Amino acid sequence: MKSSYLRGLMAVLLLTATAGCGLVRSMGKNPQGEELGRLKALSNYKNGSFENLAERSDSTIKRKFLFLHSRPKTIRPSHALPWVKTNLNTLAAPAPTIVWFGHSSLLIKTGQGNVLIDPIFSNHAGPVPGLITAFAGTMNYHAEDMPPIDVLIISHDHYDHLDYRTLKKLKDKIKMAVVPMGVGSDLVYWGFDPKKITELNWGQSVTLLGGLQVTATPAQHRSNRSYTQENKTLWASYVIQAGHYRLFYSGDSGYGPHFKKIGQQYGPFDLALMECGQYSPNWPWTHLLLGQTAQAAVDLQACLIQPIHWGKFVEANHPWNEPIEKLLPAAEKLGVEVNVPRIGEPYTLGDPLKTKIWWDFK
């Protein structure tokens, strides 16, 4: 396994070296010219990059290559994850209905339209195939299975959230894309109509046809699609207002006071779709660690958690099912309910929670 990661690393370094030549479209394109000038005028863009609300020292760069060591045997499931085949074109929406595809990819059917979040259906996460491969059982949904998309929401530009191959296939199904500041440059580079892209800074909202409101809120993370261009685009969490239902999507974020501020300003939430997985001492500040997912939901004033950012890719050194096994007792202790559907299994707000333990294997 180590040799495959080293080969993948060498591929990334080669791609990084050639990115400036425009040879690898999957790496996207950072804002330039007038677009870059627009970003430089923002209060959270300083000294050539976006900043978190409270910058802290982080050991990520120094310890990054420890990712290649101390990998438990249970880092990947021993057999295919169970999944449910759902016709996504016939979902009813008496209340928001959520379908999870593994990791952070979600479809939300609402009375105001279809919302697709951070879709990745190319079965790997990275600029080239084979770098970070999906688990068996998570590769049964494809771009062709998606219904017409009223709004695509992207949280940030990392490869496990912004997937070139998926978006190229989905482009003609998407009516509008809502992305953090600067990420629109990637989409335009990949052939999206600029008129169908709305970039938001933290605290900005857009109301779409049908009345669906999307608000970008802070997250504590970073951005880059190469090792040489960091934080040139923004990262965000989102508040989604669909009728009288209010949902929160965390994107990728470390724990911080921003959760409580979001809860005070926009909460309470009927559902919080919360990062839960791919934590590591290599990045202690930009992802939620064990126990922090449940506490962040309390801070948000969320009635219900559905965990995301787990169950599809290996991006850290913990056992593949550790995130959910640790989340459940932590949430119970804090009095927060947890919904854990299988991949592809729809859940409608107000229905009985999905609590069947389907992940109890190594």
Residue 59: the pLDDT is 42
Tokens of 332: 């119970």
Q: Residue 252's domain spans which residues?
A: 2-348
Task: Name residues whose C-beta falls within 8 Å of residue 361's C-beta, 6 or more positions apart in sequence.
Answer: 77, 78, 79, 321
Burial degree of 206 (CB within 10 A; 0-12, 13-18, 19+): middle
- Cα–Cα nearest to 53, from 268, 217, 280: 217
Tokens of 216: 């970008």
Calculate mean pLDDT across residues 91-95.
Answer: 89
- For residue 362, being part of any structural domain is answered with no
- For residue 136, being part of any structural domain is answered with yes
Residue 121: the pLDDT is 96
Tokens of 133: 């491969």
Q: Are 110 and 147 in contact (CB under 8 A)?
A: no
What sign does the dihedral 157-163-165-169 (CA atoms) show?
A: negative
- For residue 245, being part of any structural domain is answered with yes
CATH code for the domain of 201:
3.60.15.10
Residue-wise pLDDT tens digits, 3-59:
344 344 444 444 444 444 444 899 999 999 999 999 999 999 999 999 999 866 554
Rounded distance, CA 182 to CA 315, Å? 25
Q: How confident is the model at residue 129 (pLDDT cuts 50, 70, 90)?
A: confident
Q: What is the pTM of this model?
A: 0.92
Q: Are 218 and 250 in contact (CB under 8 A)?
A: no
Residue 116: the pLDDT is 98
- Mean pLDDT, the chain, whole residue set: 90
Residue 5: the pLDDT is 40
Q: pLDDT exceeding 70 applies to what percent of the chain?
A: 89
Rounded distance, CA 181 to CA 235, Å? 8
Residue-wise pLDDT tens digits, 189-241:
999 999 999 999 999 999 998 899 999 999 999 999 987 778 999 999 999 99
Overall number of domains in the chain: 1
Which amino acid appears at position 349 of this protein? Answer: L
Residue 281: the pLDDT is 86
Cross-strand partners of 273: 249, 306
Q: How confident is the model at residue 338 (pLDDT cuts 50, 70, 90)?
A: very high
Rounded distance, CA 30 to CA 21, Å? 13
- For residue 92, being part of any structural domain is answered with yes
Q: How confident is the model at residue 282 (pLDDT cuts 50, 70, 90)?
A: confident
Cross-strand partners of 50: 45
- For residue 163, being part of any structural domain is answered with yes
- For helices 292-300 and 258-266, the axis angle rounded to 10 degrees is 30
Q: What is the DSSP string of 73-117?
A: GGGS-SSPPPB----TTS---SS-EEEE-SBT-EEEEETTEEEEE
Calculate mean pLDDT across residues 228-257.
Answer: 95
Calculate mean pLDDT across residues 148-169.
Answer: 97
Q: pLDDT exceeding 90 applies to what percent of the chain?
A: 80
- For residue 341, being part of any structural domain is answered with yes
Strands 97-100, 106-110: pairing is antiparallel
Rounded distance, CA 48 to CA 256, Å? 24
Rounded distance, CA 6 to CA 245, Å? 46
Lowest-confidence segment of 6-10, 98-102, 172-176 by average pLDDT:
6-10
Q: How confident is the model at residue 60 (pLDDT cuts 50, 70, 90)?
A: very low
Q: Are 282 and 59 in contact (CB under 8 A)?
A: yes
- CA distances (Å), origin 7, targets 191, 193, 259: 30, 36, 38
- For residue 356, being part of any structural domain is answered with no
- For residue 360, being part of any structural domain is answered with no
pLDDT above 80 for 168:
yes
Element holding 13 (H helix, E strand) = helix 2-19
DSSP classification of residue 128: S
